[in-house]
């Protein structure tokens, strides 16, 4: 007999340990099925998926083409190890990514999630400097950014910078040279781009001999609150890393695969990193699949006779899984057959129209957008920029209002994230943004009356 709704709710609270969730306060939301841009919970309620199921769904849920690709692969083989072995589907995906990514990013190391891809990238950069043509074994550190997020492994929280997540683990973390978040909002007398590039160059001038790589989320720092970098900053980072002989690791786990309006965020400023990390949307949000994609120069440093022991001693049981690879190939096919990127400008413009209206609200301190990624920042006082007490959870309250009105979103503190699947319709964008606007009014009006 199938469990009842109440049983599932009770079991969810008792047995499932949810990520980034205070389980003492958790109220279950249990999804039973999904179609297109809508989720359907166990009570039959339809919810517009306003955050792409944590920024990963691309072409909508239950897409027949992706379903068919997974089913076809399942009828052949579900899993093949990537350790000294391969499978034709993963091989085709690696070739496809080599053709699709800019420059000579031709060599994919497959993992299962974004954090594991970043962990591989950190190791690749570290070991590269020990065995490249001109070894520099002193290059053992990294440059990261305040409030950046790259995952939850020890390596990725070390290069990440969100103290709220990382403080308890500091004894386990390795030291990193950390720069201020590259925000557009700097003192009026300074050019944001020039200001932040100057800080980076000062750090590289002083420490480049010990820096293996700069780790950066191109264009947008996601978990930091969807902070949009100043135009030209990414290109400047690439130029400085080349000038000071430091590698560049681009974390496009969240911003890649069309989210910024182009296939890869780096393309906006014609940047080719040394290592590009993909995840989340790589499989369309269907199955765990990620990749650390390296240039041929990085690849060549790992080639040699067996006795030289130059190989990367790192691997994941499900790296290169053929089911995930099949979903990924189908996802990339859909970008072409459905002309996904060509349809984005109208959707990006519609989101922008709503943000312009939202910006006028007395408790909206800032709105930010980069392509299909947008954020609305709530503040107590617009003039001073003073925030609400974080313990009051205004962002969460707006999300609860949205949930009660058929929209599923998840906040970053008091920053409301708008990141629907790329397949979202204009009408669905209207609903998403209008519900958020109504939720902000409802929550802050109650605050103003107290």
- Known binding residues are 114-115, 149, 251, 280, 315-317, 410
Helix axes 64-74, 322-337, angle to 10 degrees: 150
Q: Are 327 and 290 spatial neighbours (Cβ–Cβ below 8 Å)?
A: no
Separation of alpha carbons 407 and 428, rounded Å: 10
Contacts of 190 (CB under 8 A, 6+ apart): none
Q: Which of 308, 258, 298 is nearest to 282 (CA)?
A: 258
Nearest 10 degrees: CA dihedral of 259, 412, 183, 421?
10
Q: Which residues are annotated as a binding site for pyridoxal 5'-phosphate?
A: 114-115, 251, 316-317
SS3 for 274?
coil
Separation of alpha carbons 274 and 358, rounded Å: 39
Q: How many angstroms from the chain centroid is the CA of residue 20? A: 16
Separation of alpha carbons 250 and 254, rounded Å: 11
SS3 for 309?
coil
Q: Which residues are annotated as a binding site for substrate?
A: 149, 280, 315, 410
Two structure tokens written together for 426: 């204009």
Q: Are 114 and 82 spatial neighbours (Cβ–Cβ below 8 Å)?
A: no
- Cα 151 to Cα 76, 110, 116, 372: the distances in Å are 33, 16, 8, 22
DSSP summary character for residue 392:
G
Two structure tokens written together for 207: 């420490």
* Residue 287 CA neighbour count, 13 Å, CB half: 26
Q: Which of 269, 361, 286, 272 is nearest to 321 (CA)?
A: 286
Q: Are 287 and 324 spatial neighbours (Cβ–Cβ below 8 Å)?
A: yes
* Alpha-helix runs per DSSP H in 1-63: 5-15, 52-55
Separation of alpha carbons 202 and 181, rounded Å: 15
- Sign of the alpha-carbon dihedral angle for 56, 59, 60, 62: negative
């Amino acid at each position: 007999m199938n469990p009842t709704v109440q049983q599932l709710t009770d079991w969810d609270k008792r047995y499932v340990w949810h990520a980034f969730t205070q389980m003492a306060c958790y109220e279950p939301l249990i999804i039973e099925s999904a179609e297109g841009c809508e989720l359907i919970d166990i009570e039959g309620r339809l919810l517009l998926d306003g955050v792409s199921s944590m920024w990963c769904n691309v072409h909508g849920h239950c897409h027949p083409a992706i379903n068919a690709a997974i089913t076809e692969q399942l009828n052949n083989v579900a899993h093949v190890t990537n350790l000294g072995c391969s499978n034709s589907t993963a091989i085709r995906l690696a070739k496809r990514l080599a053709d699709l990514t800019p420059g000579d990013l031709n060599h994919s190391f497959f993992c299962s999630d974004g954090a594991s891809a970043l962990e591989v990238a950190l190791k690749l950069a570290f070991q590269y400097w020990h065995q490249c043509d001109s070894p520099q074994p002193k290059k053992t550190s990294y440059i990261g950014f305040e409030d950046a997020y790259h995952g939850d492994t020890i390596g990725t929280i070390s290069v990440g910078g969100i103290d709220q997540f990382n403080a308890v683990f500091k004894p386990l973390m390795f030291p990193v040279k950390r720069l201020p978040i590259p925000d557009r909002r700097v003192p009026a007398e300074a050019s944001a781009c020039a200001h932040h590039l100057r800080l980076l160059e000062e750090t590289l001038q002083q420490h480049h001999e010990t820096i293996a790589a700069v780790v950066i989320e191109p264009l947008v720092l996601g978990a930091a609150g969807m902070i949009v970098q100043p135009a030209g900053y990414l290109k400047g980072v690439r130029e400085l890393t080349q000038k000071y002989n430091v590698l560049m690791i681009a974390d496009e786990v969240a911003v890649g695969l069309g989210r910024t309006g182009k296939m890869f965020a780096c393309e906006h400023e014609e940047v080719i990193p040394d290592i590009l990390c993909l995840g989340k949307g790589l499989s369309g949000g269907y199955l765990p699949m990620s990749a650390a994609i390296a240039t041929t120069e990085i690849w060549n440093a790992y080639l040699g006779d067996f006795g030289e022991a130059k190989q990367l001693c790192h691997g994941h049981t499900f790296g290169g899984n053929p089911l995930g690879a099949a979903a990924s190939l189908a996802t990339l096919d859909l970008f072409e057959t459905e002309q996904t990127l060509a349809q984005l400008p109208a959707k990006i413009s519609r989101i922008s129209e709503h943000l312009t209206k939202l910006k006028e609200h007395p408790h909206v301190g800032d709105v930010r957008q980069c392509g299909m990624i947008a954020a609305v920042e709530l503040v107590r006082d617009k003039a001073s920029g003073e925030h609400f007490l974080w313990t009051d959870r205004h962002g969460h309250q707006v999300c609860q209002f949205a949930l009660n009105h058929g929209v599923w979103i998840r906040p970053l503190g008091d920053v409301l994230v708008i990141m629907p699947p790329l397949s979202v319709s204009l009408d669905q964008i209207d609903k998403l943004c209008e519900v958020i606007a109504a939720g902000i009014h409802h929550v802050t009006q109650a605050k103003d009356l107290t």
